[in-house]
Structure 1
Amino acid sequence: MAHSWRADENKRLARLFLKPQASRYLGLVRVAEACLRPITNLFPPRPWDKTRGVEKILVFDPGALGDMLLLAPFLRRLRGSFPTSRIVLAGRGGPADFLQEQGLVDECISVEVPWTKRKTSRLQRNQPISWRWKEFFRSLRQLRKREFDLGFAAGWGGDIRGNLAIWLAGARRRVGYGYAGGEFLLTDVVEADLTRPHVVDRNLQLLERLGVESARQPVVPLQIPAAEARAAREFLARHGVGEKDLLIGVHPGAGSALREWGDDRFAEVARRASDQFGAKILWFNDPEKPRRIPADLQAIEVAVSFQQLQAVLSHCQVFLCNDSGPMHVAAALKIPVVAVFGPTQAEWFRPYGEGHQVVIRNDMWCRPCADRCRWKEPYCMRLITVEQVMEAITIIVNDTTQNRVLYLRAAGD
């Protein structure tokens, strides 16, 4: 009876935290579990010895830049709880490297993570006999030689693949979620707290399983190197930005085109903010994929590296963006954010901390869609108006520090 309840509960949690097609997903997971169980029984990791100290810790998180920023509070708490342990972060490499620069981990190891390749089909991403999966298995076999005492499957998904990763890496004690499958791969299964659905809080709950303080953690402030800070000041001075100017940063990009509100709409908000508040506008561009600044918008283009982006962004009083990595950079810098959300759940991914505004429609039954829109265009984004985003900008500029989500009613409500 208990097992039946567990299965029903995991299915419910998967529907909340995973994709809308959770039933089909969990069906595939059950097949994967049936195949994995005999193998894991033949090659178990070294057993966890309670008398042994924690010398080496592995954290697996395959996320992108924004996910790494959401992992930072967990890593800081982990570092405080195990100050003498060596903490190794395994993930995609590039996005994780700055966490080592911030002193939150001792080492970052790049691992081929096949299911994060957006330009390949779902079948290719989850085909265990593909070369990417072979490289994934090879990387984790190498990690197994490190003999980790403790391993965490972090990130937002509670994914069986994350649980498999720390099992393959041979961590003696393995902590993670089981609602998306793979409980048998863990030594410590964490029960999801639905009252704290944000990814930051879900990561912190992994530590609570070990008895670490459960109080909500503040945003981890980013440390900006002195050279980058000086270069940012010089850049702004060259463009006529003074210390007393109201500076609004605008970043119109996102990791998926479905999450983009539209350059012209961002530009219109920027024009109105400039006229209404006398603000100067920074238009943040990806240096590898620059966007044309819309006509008639007086803005300073910022197309710089990630390290330089942090330094320039730290001078903004407001940051306007989509759900994106730079959104979390601004939040970590304690810059008030106005974020336009569409396909993703704001409760999970909103900017963490106080003083932010999230603009989102609450009448979209198809959210979350895992960036696979069923309509001709993402109406969750297109139906948000310039006036509604301008209202959120005005709240922040008028120094309203209350942290809230601006839920928008359907037209006519």
Structure 2
Amino acid sequence: MTTAPDPGAVATADRVLAPDLARGGMLLLIALANVHVYVYGLPAGPRSYPRDLSGVDAVVAAGQLMLVDGRAYPLFALLFGYGIWQLAARRAAVGLPPEAVVHLVRRRGWWMLLIGFLHALLLWAGDIVGAYGLTAVLLAGLLVAGSDRALMVTAVIGTAVSGLALTGAALPPPPGTNAALPSMAVESAPVAAAYRLAEWFAIGLVLSVLIVFGAVAIGALAARRRILDEPQRHRTLLVRVAAGGIAIGVLGGLPLALMVAAGRDPGLEWLLLAGALHGLSGYAGAIGYAAVFGLVAIHLAARSARTARPEPAWARALQACGQRSLSCYLAQSVAFVVLLPAWTLGLGEGLPLWTAALVGAGVWLVILLIADASARHGIRGPAEVLLRRLTYGPARP
């Protein structure tokens, strides 16, 4: 019996709009979530934010804790799980057996783990690519061929584990700590690299897998129901999920946001409770954001049908960024590293939180424009090209 050849990576023109829009928007959240961790030289407090915030900095910290922090990476994980099921469904449609697809997902996961290791070694200890790669390796069989029930159980367990894992994240570091990650304050590049690998293994890999594997399962479940592939069919559900998820995310993040913004230490038990609530509600917020982008895709499709005009420029730019999400994610790290750590220009020393947020948003915007220009000139993301070749071989598109 012969099997059909693997169809390779999906062509850019055939990609689904809503997940790419979500990936493009998600990268802004990730930039905002990451950039304040590059700040050093200030007393560090809960969730890696500086202590004793006031004025605009306090407002920015509160806003990020309710809308960004702990919400961006679960969204990334959800979209990753969605993409794995799309990959599996595409191969099932041409007759590839499940074991071949599981092997492919694991192969892709191992290469992502290597990319994550190199990302951490050279640039950023908070790398998440390696964690998603390891999750793919560990859960490939479940994500490709597991039952809906098994995925639901995994999602529930993963959500609970995420809440437990993030409970301690609300605790402040020991007195005298002046950087969320010690590698940021090290002036020697080789020493900083050694610090980053230790930080990545403990936080970016092990802890991150515990935090995101439930969201990956949720993404695979959503993909099986084609919720973002066919958002118009699920409009009512998307409206409810968007409103409810974001509301839960905001309200669940509010206690920790108030504690951090006010600079108050209400006691160990309250900090732990606020950390757990913040982590659990982050899953709801991430799902709500994904639903918002599904609704945006519905609006854009209706607009095109009504006016026969192409998508607006902002939508094309977001889509281009989403299609190159790995390249854009890595490019953010390059930009932040050039500017902020002590072993490069050192501009992160004592940087106000509101300024760091502007840097994060500005870097995202520049990369968004570059991605848009790349799409208009038919240039694919270099990291995507590399990962596709490693996964499918040089003969694949």
TM-score computed with the length of structure 2 as normaliser = 0.27
Structure showing greater Rg: 1
Greater relative CO, 1 or 2 (CA 8 Å, sep 6+): 2
Question: Which structure has more strand as a fraction of its residues?
Answer: 1
- The alignment's TM-score, normalised by the length of structure 1, stands at 0.26
Q: Which has the higher helix share?
A: 2
